[in-house]
């Protein structure tokens, strides 16, 4: 834990901030974050740290259609820092309204599923938290994602759509991967277009092929 008087703001914009964290006299570390100075992870007590909410949620979406093997649903989403459409699971930030709900992670997951896939989990579907908080790269940022799993039963894929995308989100199609196809992408370290992907895509692929969702 770092004292708040040892935190200095270096850059402050709507979607990103940079802070100078002085852990010792003359020793500085820099944190690129979405969080405000009042909510920085580094300044939280042990108890606050254990109870904190993630910045976002990533969804492992498994589609089950009668008579077919289960498939992992991924999409190609434009990732601005990479400048490419990358193979990605549905994901999005937790809103302030989510934080006030009974289950903030699942509240955000339900919204992101609807926006990015058109899917609304029904009474026969399963939606649960896999992991409450994973840091993206604690060497340069305190950003974090929860992982949630949605096992969805559909009659067909006609209702899957990316038309609900909001803001700067851009998509370029869906991929329904069998267990064998997902394993092949994992082994190759690239998607079927030869492109790299994020660690959260890797986590979704691994969770799917390991059958932890069953």
pLDDT digits (tens, 9 = 90+) for 158-201: 999 998 888 889 999 999 999 999 999 999 999 999 999 999 99
Evaluate whether residue 45 is within a structural domain. Answer: yes
Kindly state whether residues 61 and 153 are assigned to the same domain.
yes
pLDDT band at 74 (very low <50, low <70, confident <90, very high): very high
Q: Which residues contact 37 (CB under 8 A, 6 or more apart)?
A: 4, 7, 9, 17, 19
Query: Residue 148 maps to which CATH number?
Result: 3.90.79.10
Residue 131 shares a structural domain with residue 192:
yes
Say what the pLDDT of residue 25 is.
Answer: 86
The pLDDT-based confidence of 89 (bands split at 50, 70, 90) is very high
User: Is pLDDT larger for residue 90 or for residue 23?
Assistant: 90
Whether 128 and 145 share a structural domain: yes
Give the pLDDT confidence score for residue 24 in this predicted structure.
86
pLDDT at 140: 92
Is the same domain home to 75 and 110?
yes
Q: What is the model's pLDDT at position 197? A: 98
Average pLDDT, the chain: 96
Residue 63 lies in a domain: yes
**What domain range is 11 assigned to?**
4-51
Q: Are residues 65 and 132 in the same domain?
A: yes
Are 38 and 96 contained in the same domain?
no
Both tokens of 57, joined, read 């949620």
Regarding whether 31 and 83 lie in a shared domain, the answer is: no
């Amino acid at each position: 834990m770092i004292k708040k008087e040892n935190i200095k703001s270096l850059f402050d914009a709507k979607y990103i901030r940079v802070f100078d964290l002085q852990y010792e006299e003359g020793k500085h570390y820099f944190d690129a974050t979405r969080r405000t100075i009042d909510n920085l992870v580094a300044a939280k007590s042990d108890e606050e740290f254990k109870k904190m909410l993630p910045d976002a949620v990533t969804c492992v979406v498994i589609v089950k259609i009668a008579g077919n093997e289960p498939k992992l649903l991924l999409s190609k989403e434009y990732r601005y820092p990479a400048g490419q459409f990358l193979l990605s699971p549905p994901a999005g930030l937790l809103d302030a309204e989510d934080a006030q709900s009974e289950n903030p992670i699942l509240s955000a997951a339900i919204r992101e599923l609807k926006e990015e896939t058109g899917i609304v989990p029904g009474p026969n579907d399963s939606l649960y938290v896999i992991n409450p908080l994973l840091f993206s790269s604690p060497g340069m940022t305190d950003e974090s994602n929860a992982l949630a799993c949605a096992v969805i039963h559909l009659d067909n894929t006609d209702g899957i759509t990316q038309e609900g995308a909001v803001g700067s989100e851009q998509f370029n199609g869906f991929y329904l991967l069998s267990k064998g196809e997902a394993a092949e992408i994992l082994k190759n370290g690239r998607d079927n277009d030869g492109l790299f992907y994020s660690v959260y895509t890797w986590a979704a692929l691994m969770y799917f092929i390991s059958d932890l969702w069953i």
